[in-house]
Amino acid sequence: MMSPGKGGPTQPLILTLAGLAIAAALAVGLQASERASSASRPYAYTVLNGPTSAACGFDYIDLTQSGAPVTLKLVRADTASDDGGAVLSLAEPFELYQSPVSALVVSGNGYLAAAESLAVEDATDFSNDCSLPMRADNASASQNRIYVYHDDLRPRAGGELRQAYFPDCPRTSAGGRPEACTVVEWNGFERVDPIPSSRPLRAQAVLYHASHAIALQYASVDDSAGAQATIGLQGFDARAATQAGCDQRSQVAAGQAICFFDPRHRPGTRVAAAD
């Protein structure tokens, strides 16, 4: 028989230590669960539509004189003559969904894909998808994309693609300080249709290299008015997306901008100057 005093203080101590161990295990489990939950959340860009938002004003950059032509190349013999692409090497790094981008494939069908060659992205995707994210179905496809006006497009007579890099972007960023930008423009395009459009699509993507913001600007919109076009961003190999419009007529109009702000640089916040 145990004496009344023997083991008396020891038993509560054991129970206390056991309780602490259980609490610590629960805390570790909760932290792990929070990390997993955070990792599974989409990387949410802020989307603003001009002209209703002061942080997303329309200020179209004319590339007629300052831009260089982008010559599209056909990768596959079994595709239409208007389904070509070109590789654009960026003068400065850019990030899409936190992923470094050094080159973009420009598609005649109104989108940019993060890819360094036409072997990775053949630019032939003419069938827009709703709703994002959606895996692209062209034979060689990068799933990380900027959909400026993704549709089955063709250039009208005189239509062209142009691009330019500006160390000090002509369009002021929402951060309020000068930063470099790359601009890609589709000028004189229309939706493939038996009846030619009465007016051309003239649209551009402005990519800011410091804040990683993206401004899509529309100087004019073809007769389809975006009724069968996708507008938005997609990243993380089609695991995350930010959609501004898809198969919605008049979602964009002449004189309008749609802006996407990286979560690290919300509109109205200043971007630190580069060293």
pLDDT of residue 270: 56
pLDDT-based confidence at 42, cuts 50/70/90? confident
pLDDT of residue 77: 74
Distances (CA, A) of 147 to 6, 53, 134, 195, 241: 76, 21, 12, 24, 11
pLDDT of residue 178: 87
Asked if pLDDT for residue 35 goes beyond 70, the answer is no
Task: Give the Cα separation of 260 and 232 in Å (integer).
Answer: 9
pLDDT single digits (tens) 85-142: 999 999 999 999 999 999 999 999 999 999 999 999 999 999 999 999 999 999 999 9
pLDDT single digits (tens) 50-92: 877 889 999 999 999 999 999 999 887 777 888 899 999 999 9
CA angle 193, 126, 89 (to 5 degrees): 125
In terms of pLDDT, which residue wins out, 244 or 275? Answer: 244
In terms of pLDDT, which residue wins out, 170 or 177? Answer: 170
pLDDT of residue 207: 98
Determine what percent of the chain is predicted with pLDDT higher than 90. 72
In terms of pLDDT, which residue wins out, 79 or 159? Answer: 159
pLDDT of residue 11: 55
* Domain map (residue ranges) of the chain: 9-41, 46-261
pLDDT of residue 31: 40
Least confident of 30-39, 85-94, 258-267: 30-39
Decide: 251 and 50 in contact? Cβ < 8 Å: no
Q: What is the mean pLDDT of the chain?
A: 86
Least confident of 10-14, 120-124, 194-198, 211-215: 10-14
Asked if pLDDT for residue 159 goes beyond 90, the answer is yes
Asked if pLDDT for residue 182 goes beyond 50, the answer is yes
Which helix (H) or strand (E) element contains residue 40? helix 10-40
